[in-house]
Structure 1
């Protein structure tokens, strides 16, 4: 447990200073005070370690979203809660995301965010015809494509938010995503307007 904590702190610190692609295993082992064999018991590469650390953070947020997304209820509340949580996560690790997505174009950081979002949207859509577009088949291929579209959209808004305003206005990120999420997913009209009003009040 102590080793995991050391590795977590090391990769978050180093990835806040340079893209994870530029971080070596030697950099991490030196920073964490461990040897290479110990490192490889926990991750296959610096990018893999960062993915595990960020996914651990985001998995907790996903659990909260699913707890709110009860069958038969509109997803608007759960999605809005999740987006606020995602914004808070980005603000908490602002140096990491600014370095990886604004100062540099870290393909690894971009990919791990998309992969987690795709998995989350897939879990929300699978077997739920009420959360799919009217007339959609709901088969695995359709769910995969809709999930990818939604996930890449959220990540794209996040990157634009960081590039244009930094992390100073999380409400803008939340309101923008809610404004473009399709009604067939949220199940509620007007959610984006309410969030926008809160962000500007």
Structure 2
């Protein structure tokens, strides 16, 4: 909680003796410097982890926050002809091209999500980095960042063949499936082989 003195210092005129135009520039510079400060982040520890909660087709998932580079509104995605259906195309983020993965469709092909309508770009892109790959995940909504206690995770539903390779780490107390991005990325090649286009 900010004290009254801290608030007053924050709102203080940074350049009281300057003309209006220069004063405006000083205020904007002060704001830019404050916005450029890194955000204090809660560190993951042995007992908990920071996760990003997502919504895809009315279902809720979470991914490990350490794999998240950034979240962006879905911009223009350029389709690449002949690519497997899980790939929506490429997106340009600040001059760099990244492949865009339809996360709902991939999860559907892995039997972890209701069948996807396919080829649908969600409203947001979550740029992720894991297993040596940087991929933008297309999702409908990005809901929240939160801490999850590792001990509170419920075990994932088993009964699937090769459940060790399953990207589901567990379920939160509100039944959000926690996905391991690295394991998801390792599932891309088998999913493409099963459904090439």
Smaller-chain TM-score bracket:
under 0.3
In terms of Rg, which structure is larger? Answer: 2
> What is the TM-score of this pair, normalised by structure 1?
0.22
